[in-house]
Amino acid sequence: MANKRLDSAPLGAEEKHVQRLIRDALPRLLSDHVLERYGAFGLGIGRKHAGGPVALRFYVRCKLTEDRLLPSRCIPKTIRIAAGAGTVLEVPTDVVERGIPSAAMAAPEDSLRPVPGGASISIPGSGGNGTLGAWVLDKTDETVVALTN
């Protein structure tokens, strides 16, 4: 069964505002090394669950229970981000288990930045690969997604 999006309902005005605030905070979060600190390979923005709040998503290869992690490696339930005029917003987090996407290339040390349409891509362990058609914007929540065959 294919993975379904958590919630494809359009974002309301307040949710879009929170989404923009999170997007604006991403450079600071990345410079604070949140990926390395929490063992994640990617960040995203989306609903925590169907009908739920907009959250900062941490993408990990394998989810672990809190009792199997050092306290310093546990992803916090919320992240504080600047909301303008000296105010701070507590944004919920979500931990999403996914395979790490990678480009299948003849020479592994080669890199393609940005990845062009026509490149062969796959998620390790998925048992298949596809061809990247384009990077597109999902109009329901303004997420950049890969369009493949």
* Residue pair 33/43 in contact by the 8 Å Cβ criterion: no
Q: Are residues 71 and 103 in the same domain?
A: no
Residue 140's CB is within 10 A of a number of other CB atoms, namely 12
Q: Are residues 44 and 104 in the same domain?
A: no
- Domain stops at, among 98, 116, 140: 98
Q: Which pLDDT tens digits describe the chain residue by residue (149 residues)?
A: 344 444 566 788 899 999 999 999 999 999 999 999 999 988 999 888 878 899 999 999 999 988 998 899 999 999 999 898 899 999 999 999 988 776 555 665 666 666 777 777 777 767 777 788 888 877 777 777 888 76
Q: Are residues 76 and 111 in the same domain?
A: no
pLDDT for residue 75: 95
Coil, strand or helix: which one is 56? strand
Helix (H) or strand (E) segment spanning residue 13: helix 13-31
Coil, strand or helix: which one is 22? helix
Q: Are residues 21 and 86 in the same domain?
A: yes
Domain that holds residue 16: 10-98
DSSP summary character for residue 34: H
Q: Are residues 92 and 105 in the same domain?
A: no
18 lies in a domain?
yes
Q: Are residues 40 and 111 in the same domain?
A: no
Q: Are residues 61 and 126 in the same domain?
A: no
Count of domains in the chain?
2
46 lies in a domain?
yes
Can you say whether residue 58 is alpha, beta or left, with left for phi > 0 and alpha for psi between -120 and 50 degrees?
Answer: beta
Q: Are residues 78 and 15 in the same domain?
A: yes
